[in-house]
Amino acid sequence: MRHLSTRKDRLLTMTSAVALVAASMTLAAPARADEAAAKKWIDSEFQPSTLSKDDQLKEMQWFIKAAQPFKGMEINVVSETLTTHEYESRTLAKAFEEITGIKVKHDIIQEGDVVEKIQTQMQSGKNVYDGWINDSDFIGTHFRYGQAVDLTEWMKGEAKDVTNPGLDVDDFIGKSFTTAPNGHLYQLPDQQFANLYWFRYDWFTNPDYKAKFK
């Protein structure tokens, strides 16, 4: 999987982080959700930010309110074993639970196992996970099989009330790799492997070098 594309994204498939609130969930023990928890995370973990702390708190207040109908439920998510995803599983899942009252069980497994479980869910029709973080190479499979949520339609329709109004989809890097042939989003970028290229500018501008080039 890793070498199928030179430009790789990790993606949250089926739902966005916000839309996961309304995903298929199983009942679990009630969790605490309050503004004090949001303030704690803003001060201790959600820095630096392009938003002021006041704006961050307003956004967290929206999350708390939107999550009210789903408090005590559990979302099951899986991703490949990478440092970024370990942070999401260990830290961000805990923050989400404390702020919203919704528990996130974020499993970390090997990449091959992620692919195998996706195939198992598609073939069996049984819900293994509510959300998947997988490579953008899967966009064709998700689109053809029709078993992933059309985020474009879902976020402006059924999931409108649980989609963060401050979410700027156009601000995502790599969105073109997660857009299906119908022009709709089926995945949102979670992380991306960015390539940085350096070159000798004078090789291309110096007249002597240019004249000597063969």
Which comes out higher in pLDDT, residue 9 or 62? 62
For the full predicted model, state whether its pTM sits above 0.75.
Answer: no
- State the pairing for strand pair 131-135/73-80: parallel
Give the three-class secondary structure for 132.
strand
**Both structure tokens of 111:** 């990449």
Q: Which amino acid is at 78?
A: V
Give the three-class secondary structure for 11.
strand
Mean pLDDT for the chain overall: 84
Which comes out higher in pLDDT, residue 44 or 125? 44
Residues 41-91 pLDDT 10s: 999 999 999 999 999 999 999 999 999 999 999 999 999 999 999 999 999
Q: Which pLDDT score, from 0 to 100, does residue 133 have? A: 92
The ranges assigned to domains in the chain are 9-212
Q: Which CATH architecture has domain 9-212?
A: 3-Layer(aba) Sandwich (3.40)
Q: Which amino acid is at 177?
A: F
Asked whether residue 10 carries a pLDDT value surpassing 90, the answer given is: no
Q: Which pLDDT score, from 0 to 100, does residue 105 have? A: 96
Residues 135-191 pLDDT 10s: 998 899 889 988 889 999 999 999 999 999 999 999 988 899 999 999 999 999 888
